[in-house]
Amino acid sequence: METRKVQVTGGSTYTVSLPKDWARRNDVSGGSVIEFYPEEESLLLTPSSEAERVEGTLDITGLAEAELTRAVVTMYVSGFDVITLETSRVSAAQRRTIRQTTQGLVGLEVIGETSEHVQLRDLLDSSELSMHSAITRMRLVSTTMLSDAVTALLEDDADLAADVVQRDDDVDRLWSMVSRVFRSVLRDPGAAATIGLDRETAFDYHSSARQLERVGDHATKIATHAESLSAPPEDAAEAIRALHGEAAEVVDVAMDALLEEDSDSATQLANDARQQVAGIDELARTVDDEIRQLEPQEAQLLGLVVDSLSRSADYGGNIAETALQKAAPKP
């Protein structure tokens, strides 16, 4: 760490010198323009530069299906604006996978193809991406998925169950977008100013979005089980319905706390959500007692449903914990 003394020039101008090594590494010299970004008691600075597209190249030789999908998503989330995927010969299967993956990522489009490469480009400006809107949308989609998955199970609605499984792509798309924006905020102070969030809030939203993405995953698991199960007996169905109601309320109250601007109200809501989580385990045991009386295979699958609902409540508790930290006084 280096320190500098603040000088006062002209009676009203505060000046401080920049470390020479840092200036040289970042091509800062006489006449260079420096951008300043105030964050409460901190002041971040970075050399001014014209916005340039960040380009990245990835060798996809031997990558197929899930591995190739993960590679494209990783490049997108890492913040590359132009992604070139190259190999000696891009197979038809690889092209299909790349196109399917691209369709699941906000703003990413295929802009060029040859026999040896596929080039992708993010067509959205970061200022057009709102973490607040994305996490609000994730909340709606994931909680609706959870509700519909339970309904599909209890009413033996295979079509609704299949629809829930398909909607998981919407949650994943939003999660990838939030991750991309969050990483850009970490790298570039200007990105935080562009999206109108400080870095701590961006972290809180990113952390909570991860929990919502997991709620969506468990809704998908429940829907998958619903496709192979008949509607359970009324007593078991009522117990599962009650457990879902409690779990969904934890997530909703926790999200209310996270998005609440008044710190006192946010703290109260977050504590309410955490207290609700404490009663979920007892309720889950009651449901287990009901389903234990059923045929073994059915009881096993319904036990997995109970586990998914309990875990969803836990994820809501994690969001509540984040909300408490967000509302806490800053040191």
Return the closest-CA partner of residue 326 out of 254, 247, 278, 276: 254
| Confidence at residue 124, expressed as pLDDT on a 0 to 100 scale | 79
Residue written as tokens 């057009």? 128
Q: How many CA atoms lie within 13 Å of 239's alpha carbon, on the beta-carbon side?
A: 21
Q: Which two tokens stand for residue 153?
A: 């199970």
Return the closest-CA partner of residue 222 out of 303, 319, 315: 303
Q: Which residues have C-beta within 8 Å of that of residue 330, sequence separation ≥ 6?
A: 40
Query: What would the pLDDT profile of 172-210 be if each residue is shown by its tens digit?
Result: 999 999 999 999 888 877 777 777 788 899 999 999 999
pTM here is 0.83
Sequence letter at residue 136: T
More confident residue, 128 or 287: 287
Distance between CA atoms of residues 252 and 257, nearest Å: 9
Longest dimension (CA), the chain: 86
Distance between CA atoms of residues 318 and 311, nearest Å: 10
Distance between CA atoms of residues 95 and 65, nearest Å: 10
Residues 152, 240 contacting (CB under 8 angstroms): no
Summarize the confidence of residues 128-146 as an average pLDDT. 92
State the CB neighbour count (10 A cutoff) for residue 31: 5
| Confidence at residue 133, expressed as pLDDT on a 0 to 100 scale | 92
User: Percentage of the chain with pLDDT > 70?
Assistant: 87
Q: Which two tokens stand for residue 203?
A: 């972290």
Helix (H) / strand (E) containing 247? helix 234-259
Residues 241, 286 contacting (CB under 8 angstroms): no
Distance between CA atoms of residues 73 and 66, nearest Å: 11
Return the closest-CA partner of residue 53 out of 20, 78, 87, 79: 79
State the CB neighbour count (10 A cutoff) for residue 197: 20
| Confidence at residue 79, expressed as pLDDT on a 0 to 100 scale | 87
| Confidence at residue 31, expressed as pLDDT on a 0 to 100 scale | 64
Sequence letter at residue 90: V
Q: Which residues have C-beta within 8 Å of that of residue 190, sequence separation ≥ 6?
A: 35, 37, 46
Query: What would the pLDDT profile of 17-33 be if each residue is shown by its tens digit?
Result: 777 676 677 677 666 66
Distance between CA atoms of residues 112 and 222, nearest Å: 40
Residues 287, 236 contacting (CB under 8 angstroms): yes
Q: How many helices (H) and strands (E) does the chain have?
A: 10, 8
What residues does 59 pair with on adjacent strands?
A: 86
Residues 56, 82 contacting (CB under 8 angstroms): yes
More confident residue, 39 or 247: 247
Distance between CA atoms of residues 326 and 168, nearest Å: 28
